[in-house]
Amino acid sequence: MSNPSTRLPASLRTEALEQLLTERGLVDPAVMDKFIATYETQVGPLNGAKVVAKAWTDPEYKERLLAEGTAAIKELGFSGPQGEHIVVVENSAKTHNVVVCSLCSCYPWPVLGLPPSWYKDPAYRARVVREPRAVLAEMGLQLDDDVEIIVRDSSSEVRWMVLPERPAGTEGLSEEELVGLVTRDAMVGVAKVAAPEAAR
């Protein structure tokens, strides 16, 4: 028989757990609120999307980003824990980078937020190193055989971020419009940025 609590929505279970921990004096609500606000407004894939859009529209910024990722990202105001050493690599029509942390789940939090569950999954961490093309295909990204795939292994010393290839048909879009196209998965390298409907 299943546990009735597992049928409750995750949000309600989380709220109940937070209330219990608060009542027992194990959690300070003010600290929790600060963490939540940080990850809702200051940390996450939207930051990374802004970095990508800036690089797509500003060649000089792109050059700085690829030469010294951490410093260029900090120019836009994004820094903090897990973002001390970010290296950015560019995807192109013939080269595709994909990121993994084969030992744990090192990840550039200031620009991508918290790592998704699949990124931490042992199967992804092991298989993408050995058979990246197959793993990417299973995740919905089919790459031609002549595309070189480079697996970038993040660590506590270096956290990788992908600068995705800019999709065709976006030349007339503003930086703000481009931000809306960029996904977290594209910045990890398990997806490409899709062109807007009007450009397809």
Active site positions, annotated: 101, 104-106
Beta strands 86-90 and 159-163 are: parallel
* DSSP H or E stretch at residue 51: helix 45-57
Whole-number Cα distances in Å, 97 to 42, 149, 153, 200: 26, 6, 10, 24
Rounded CA-CA distance 189/143 in Å is: 12
Alpha-carbon distance of 158 to 82, in angstroms, equals 9
Q: Alpha helix (H) ranges present in 86-156?
A: 109-112, 117-120, 122-130, 132-138
Q: Strand pairing of 148-153 and 159-163?
A: unpaired
How far is residue 115 CA from its own chain's centroid? 7
